[in-house]
Amino acid sequence: MALIVQKFGGTSVADTKRISAAARRAIREAHNGNQVVMVVSAMGKQTDHLISLAKELCDRPNTREMDMLMSTGEQVTIALMAIALESLGHKAVSFTGAQIGIRTDATYSKARIRSISTDRMRKALDEGKIVIAAGFQGVDDDFNITTLGRGGSDTTAVALAAALKADRCDIYTDVDGVYTTDPRIVPEARRLERISYDEMLELASLGAGVMHSRSIEFAKKFGTIVHVRSSFSDNPGTIIGPDVERVDAPVCGAALAKDETRITVIGVPDEPGVAMRLFSKFADAKIPTDMIAQNSSAKGRTDVSFTVQSDDALRARDVVAEAVKEINAERFEIDENVAKVSVVGLGMTKQAGVAQKMFHALSECGVNIQMIATSDIKISALVGRDDAVTALRAAHRAFKLDVELTEEERSKSAGSVQIPSDSFEKGVSTHLISHLTGMEDVVVEGVELDDDQVRVTLYDLPDRPGLAAEVFDKVAEGRIIVDMIVQSVGRDSLANITFTVPREELESVTAVTKQVCASYECHSEIDSRVAKLSVRGSGLRSHTGLAYRMFKTLSDCNVNVSVISLSERCVGVLVDKDHGAIGRENLQREFANETF
């Protein structure tokens, strides 16, 4: 007898008719001889409605009471679902997060799951009941109701599947799978038959709202196979599982985070440890930051830019105002009219010219790139919000994500669509469960040092559409493989671009840099004594404390960080070559308890 977790999102339980349809799906699974746990969301747009009620009363409602309020949406659905199942003749029992024993930390609206006790669910399942669990909620040590963050029912579902060692976790939603990008924005997007945990985690974290990114962290950590499919049809859907060999394509999908906010802290004292203190404030407030770029230092001061999600912008404003005083910076600026367009793919680690292709695509449709940040499996460009959809479409098209696979390509990836029945045992799960103190604790796979890098910084380039495309065209002409790229716009609309290349490219990159400087009348700096330190794992960007601990560990052993790249599976920093080994040693010690 298999155990299956089925999750139904808001649209899939929007009215009683749909609740009945979901109930019938669960019964069908039970009639096939399986035990079934259902996880349900609030009906339709109920969570939005509850939030708007609170906002009618107050701009910044108390966070404990907001969680109390929002959790009621799911409570309505579980009861109705149990009623629907019983009316269809099947035994059922509904549980809130607290009743099911989902223990979380006390971070209201973004609580992380610490533990799940499965006894009550097991007992009900053994009695032949379908168990219905409220998604998105838990309870802290003081029995306060907490919620996991918008879209968090996916995380409840995968976490329950992991805790119960379920054979499968089916996510029923209003699209029939994971697409190459949001099909509502780009209708020519294609459904993927299969996607790897790392790619899905990165896409979800960069804006692909089809899955809550933290659910994918769970899935990867505990080896849970996730099947995303439509609640309105029996189409095959998408399997999210371990890495897949993909047919030559460097990019598997594109994502848009439409509501981003850029913060620039101006005049930060250029002293070791200062930027670290700035980010510690954000880590403490559990506000994830992305696209961190540091501008050139003038008179001992630098400007530091980064992005946060607009949902966090109000709190971020308070945090940055306090930080500016504390670190003695000059002032800060906030731009709330930006969006982040990203492409993601495991294949880009092996191919040159991927970033250049993206910059070209944006340039050709006249979109100005305000910031660039790359990491091992993603490239992100910050653009004006009005340009967001144009930029997403252009990037999607540039990587031929809209082109149907050939029969041969399809059959190459189809073999792996089978769900491996022993995936749970294959996952790192058994080993992990005995080590983790909390189910959502961050997992580190290792610390790496690459001390064969050269850093190139181009200062004071004219900030206009096509700049990055032109610069990286010249680099590509020299057949130079580029690693980290960071572009930020500085004062007076002048842009800085920093990138790294392998040391063997020193000669050719020096020649290219000369050319670029001559044509733009800009100046440059080439540092051939740099090393890249990377921490690998999963969920590294959204576990806000991790990058901060990395910066702090390095600052404590007097290692200065110049360039930062962030993704969910890798945080990379550039340091002085002479400090690479000591940095690695200290990082290994710092993360010893989380490394598996």
201 in contact with ligand ADP (CB under 6 A): no
| Residue listed under structure tokens 């002032």 | 331
196-233: burial string, b at 16+ Cβ within 10 Å, e else: bbbbbbbbbbbbbbbbbbbbbbbbbbbbbbbbbbbbee
345 in contact with ligand ADP (CB under 6 A): no
Find the part of the chain contacting ligand ASP (CB under 6 A) among 148-156, 375-383, 390-398, 400-408.
148-156
Site for ligand ADP in 29-58 (CB under 6 A): 41
Q: How far is the CB of 486 from ligand ASP (least distance, A)?
A: 32
Distances in Å between the Cα of 126 and the Cα atoms of 94, 116, 167, 516, 554 are 15, 18, 16, 70, 52
In angstroms, how far is CA 308 from the centroid of its own chain? 12
Contact 102, 34 (CB under 8 A): no
47 in contact with ligand ASP (CB under 6 A): yes
Q: How far is the CB of 67 from ligand ASP (least distance, A)?
A: 11
231 in contact with ligand ASP (CB under 6 A): no
Q: How far is the CB of 291 from ligand ADP (least distance, A)?
A: 20
209 in contact with ligand ADP (CB under 6 A): yes
Q: What six digits make up the tokens of 181?
A: 């990008």
Contact 533, 448 (CB under 8 A): yes
Q: Which of 173, 264, 280, 380 binds ligand ADP (CB under 6 A)?
A: 173
- The beta strands (E) that lie in 378-419 are given as 378-384
Q: How far is the CB of 202 from ligand ADP (least distance, A)?
A: 12
104 in contact with ligand ASP (CB under 6 A): no
Residues of this chain that interact with Mg ion (CB under 5 A) are 9, 151
Find the part of the chain contacting ligand ASP (CB under 6 A) among 59-67, 115-123, 147-155, 432-440.
147-155
218 in contact with ligand ASP (CB under 6 A): no
CB nearer ligand ADP, residue 185 or residue 432 = 185
Tell me the residue nearest to ligand ADP as measured from the CB: 9
Q: Residue 293 pairs with which residues in a beta bridge? A: 305
Find the part of the chain contacting ligand ASP (CB under 6 A) among 40-48, 107-115, 303-311, 577-585.
40-48
174 in contact with ligand ADP (CB under 6 A): yes
257 in contact with ligand ADP (CB under 6 A): no
CB nearer ligand ADP, residue 77 or residue 280 = 77
Handedness of CA 211, 215, 219, 221 (dihedral sign): positive
Q: What is the CA radius of gyration of the chain?
A: 24
Q: DSSP letter for 251, please.
A: -
End-to-end alpha carbon distance in the chain: 32
Q: Which of 30, 42, 211, 361 binds ligand ASP (CB under 6 A)?
A: 42
DSSP 61-107: --HHHHHHHHHHHHHHHHHHHHHHHHHTT--EEEE-HHHHTEEE-S-
Find the part of the chain contacting ligand ASP (CB under 6 A) among 145-153, 232-240, 456-464, 496-504.
145-153
Query: Residues interacting with ligand ASP, by CB under 6 A?
Result: 9-10, 41-42, 47, 73, 135-136, 150-153
